[in-house]
Structure 1
């Protein structure tokens, strides 16, 4: 089997990367060791920045139809409602950021939507192929699978989870620590006797070890159960074990858990790979960084790894950019992952509130070697490396103009310089989020170059990023 890019793992990271590569016409194969997509709800929260990514990838409509907003928490004690608990500080929407709150979609459904989009674009997932070994040289990668299949590719991306076999095979270390030594049971269940208008919270009477949360999963008839255990307790993930855990922590009886569809257990930990690249092999998602689930940062950071890497692989494989462009993947994404690990840990410890801090809208790449800024600060607030905000310019919504695998030039109260015809140009008056000037927006929605009116794009920049 031969392909240009081998993506190992069909979770949200691998599927998002597959979609991005497919829409660029890149020959890519996604392989997954399981016989089908992941069946559980695990990463159920999509942050506003990820909603913007999904808008660009063409799946936002399906994502919005499949989910809903998070319900208000309801605290219970001894079968009585004690009152509401608001888990998220409100974030007001504005023109520059139209998605202002996390959107709940069970992970299994997000993956179904991404898989359907990948198939629509002509891509595919090969299920039942477990990569067990990998070799590489200056021209490509050869992956060996458990069933004897060999796959050759020009590049490979390990999106095979926190216990990544590929990460170990290429010798990249991972530094981490346990965030909480107490194990947690998580399960998708059907329950009678609880309303679906609230996220039901059952605090433990003797500390935090017996905490239970039961959250209705938007777009389904199921609830996600999360039950915390003591450090030395065994977690029983069988259907009977799930029923007993819920009954022991709430006023519900075991019989009210009518179905257990999926269950797992984990100890919250955080870890970061020492580097995100070894030769022609890249790490993305949990293979590169493992988060506490608090704050809903893991899946979102992972999808944005794929979004950063996809356009760079496309530019290099087409011959438009030199392979050195791929060095900027780790340069840009590893600091972001480290920052998000700190944020997740802060939320887990109760030091940081969910809300504006967890939307991921403020993340950017100002320190990146790809960010070139020639504007005077008096000309406006935006800088190269910042996320390009939404706005309406001369009747054109900018997120509509950005959508697709191209670069976009915004000329606001400025004359556009000469650029290759593949760059989409939007001209109009200055907008508050931008100010006046010229903004060359990358395919992943960040400002690559910014200049004042009349400025010229640096001569080496188009070749550096694959504009020709």
Structure 2
């Protein structure tokens, strides 16, 4: 039997390969970069309970490996212009151990666990295999690399990211919007010996950075800072490592300028592929090859791994109908997540004065009306409930 070819060794491609191996299918995973590649630090941070459950179904014990390394904080706080409007601390779990609501670790570490699991599962890796051509028939798929090598398979999974060559070669368009402005995301290492707060903090209109909103999230070994920039901000002023060293102390205090691990910027893209499969139902798009969301709400990698699990199930079923169902259901999930991210973006970057006035009024009333503080806490991440009943539940 021909193997299934997975394109892209990021967390979603690794998850797809692992899911396929869980079904007993042979897998060849193609990655354009070399084996010893250095991966960027910022990107996905949260691995949610639903995702951990999917990964554990692919490789029992994998969720425990990830959570034993990752960090689960129990306090979340929201501030408005320097004043706290919401705080909640959850008690540590009691009773038998189970999956936490999430775990927080850098994407490089998540990929490390997934890659090791794939190697143990018998996934065949092919490094420095940059796919440049794709063709499909009713019976299979052929992929060609830039050096002339070819691979054939009954199916292929495209997990080759936002600039997916596979998607482009199949002629599948991305549909959606590109907003103005960007976020700056910074990974910062802990200062040795310094006690770090185990809390996630979202700060509306932080006075230390000119009224821009900021989020701080801990992960194992450090924390991530997300600065929401304005439409007329430049990356030179806020998005370079030199610029971050200027504004970071106002957000986290002194002593971290030399502890920066990675700086990246993200544009506000909300796009979903017109189809998650080709006309012959032989290629399945997953992750950022299929959808792009803004970098908040933890929808990117989590929904991508849900895509990967559903793709593995569809391929194991081995019918065109199963692949068509995958494409329909996962595209519906992508559209839900895109709309949810849009609602969050409208809250974070209000175009109407009435929205900003509601936020200010809620901040004033939060001490006497707790639901106002709760609204300020939850709105920046978009709705979680109402997604189609698909693998991953919320994604």
Aligned 8 A contact 2:303 2:392 in 1: no
Give the whole-Å Cα distance in 2 for the aligned partners of 1:208 and 1:146: 48
Aligned pairs for 1:160-179 within 5 A: 160-178=160-178
User: Which residue of 332, 344, 347 corresponds with 1:347?
Assistant: 344
Aligned 8 A contact 2:159 2:287 in 1: yes
The corresponding residue for 1:121 is: 121
User: What per-residue deviation string (whole Å, max 9, x for no partner) do you get for residues 125-157 of structure 1?
Assistant: 323222122223333322222333322222211
Tell me: CA distance 1:112–1:24, structure 2 relative to 1, closer, same or farther (3 Å). same
Give the whole-Å Cα distance in 2 for the aligned partners of 1:174 and 1:152: 26
The corresponding residue for 1:195 is: 196
User: Which residue of 48, 51, 68 corresponds with 1:65?
Assistant: 68
The corresponding residue for 1:315 is: 317
- 3-state DSSP of counterpart to 1:333: helix
Cα displacement (A) at 1:117: 0.8
The corresponding residue for 1:394 is: none
The corresponding residue for 2:49 is: 48
Aligned pairs for 1:65-214 within 5 A: 65-70=68-73, 72-73=75-76, 82-83=83-84, 85-86=86-87, 99=99, 101-178=101-178, 180-190=179-189, 192=191, 195-201=196-202, 203-205=205-207, 210-214=212-216
- 3-state DSSP of counterpart to 1:266: strand
Give the whole-Å Cα distance in 2 for the aligned partners of 1:87 and 1:6: 45
Give the whole-Å Cα distance in 2 for the aligned partners of 1:60 and 1:260: 28
User: Which residue of 384, 387, 390 corresponds with 1:358?
Assistant: 384
Tell me: CA distance 1:76–1:27, structure 2 relative to 1, closer, same or farther (3 Å). same
The corresponding residue for 1:303 is: 305
Aligned pairs for 1:259-338 within 5 A: 259-278=259-278, 279=280, 280-316=282-318, 322-338=319-335
Aligned 8 A contact 1:30 1:126 in 2: yes
Structure 1 gaps, min length 5 = 317-321, 366-443, 447-468
**What is the TM-score with the length of structure 1 in the denominator?**
0.66
Aligned 8 A contact 2:78 2:87 in 1: no
- 3-state DSSP of counterpart to 2:181: coil
Give the whole-Å Cα distance in 1 for the aligned partners of 2:101 and 2:380: 10
Give the whole-Å Cα distance in 2 for the aligned partners of 1:324 and 1:102: 34
Tell me: CA distance 1:213–1:303, structure 2 relative to 1, closer, same or farther (3 Å). same
Aligned 8 A contact 1:73 1:87 in 2: yes
Aligned 8 A contact 2:45 2:104 in 1: yes
Give the whole-Å Cα distance in 1 for the aligned partners of 2:200 and 2:384: 19
Tell me: CA distance 1:83–1:118, structure 2 relative to 1, closer, same or farther (3 Å). same
User: What per-residue deviation string (whole Å, max 9, x for no partner) do you get for residues 316-362 of structure 1?
Assistant: 2xxxxx443222111221112211222222233348648995378x7
Tell me: CA distance 1:295–1:76, structure 2 relative to 1, closer, same or farther (3 Å). closer
Say which one has the larger Rg.
1
Give the whole-Å Cα distance in 1 for the aligned partners of 2:211 and 2:94: 40
Tell me: CA distance 1:198–1:348, structure 2 relative to 1, closer, same or farther (3 Å). same
Aligned pairs for 1:237-248 within 5 A: 237-247=239-249
Give the whole-Å Cα distance in 2 for the aligned partners of 1:24 and 1:304: 16
User: What per-residue deviation string (whole Å, max 9, x for no partner) do you get for residues 51-88 of structure 1?
Assistant: 2212212211112112122453456799xx74374489
The corresponding residue for 1:417 is: none
C-alpha RMSD of the superposition: 3.5
Tell me: CA distance 1:170–1:355, structure 2 relative to 1, closer, same or farther (3 Å). closer
Tell me: CA distance 1:336–1:76, structure 2 relative to 1, closer, same or farther (3 Å). closer
The corresponding residue for 1:409 is: none
The corresponding residue for 1:257 is: 257
Between 32-41 and 151-160, the greater mean CA deviation after superposition: 32-41
Aligned 8 A contact 2:44 2:298 in 1: yes
Between 108-117 and 230-239, the greater mean CA deviation after superposition: 230-239
Give the whole-Å Cα distance in 1 for the aligned partners of 2:232 and 2:190: 28
Give the whole-Å Cα distance in 2 for the aligned partners of 1:125 and 1:187: 31
Aligned 8 A contact 2:190 2:222 in 1: yes
Cα displacement (A) at 1:242: 2.5
Aligned 8 A contact 1:3 1:29 in 2: no
Cα displacement (A) at 1:305: 0.8
Give the whole-Å Cα distance in 1 for the aligned partners of 2:224 and 2:157: 31
Tell me: CA distance 1:238–1:73, structure 2 relative to 1, closer, same or farther (3 Å). same
Q: Is the counterpart of residue 18 in structure 1 residue 17 in structure 2?
A: yes
Number of residue pairs aligned between Structure 1 and Structure 2: 351
Give the whole-Å Cα distance in 1 for the aligned partners of 2:79 and 2:197: 15
Give the whole-Å Cα distance in 2 for the aligned partners of 1:8 and 1:17: 10
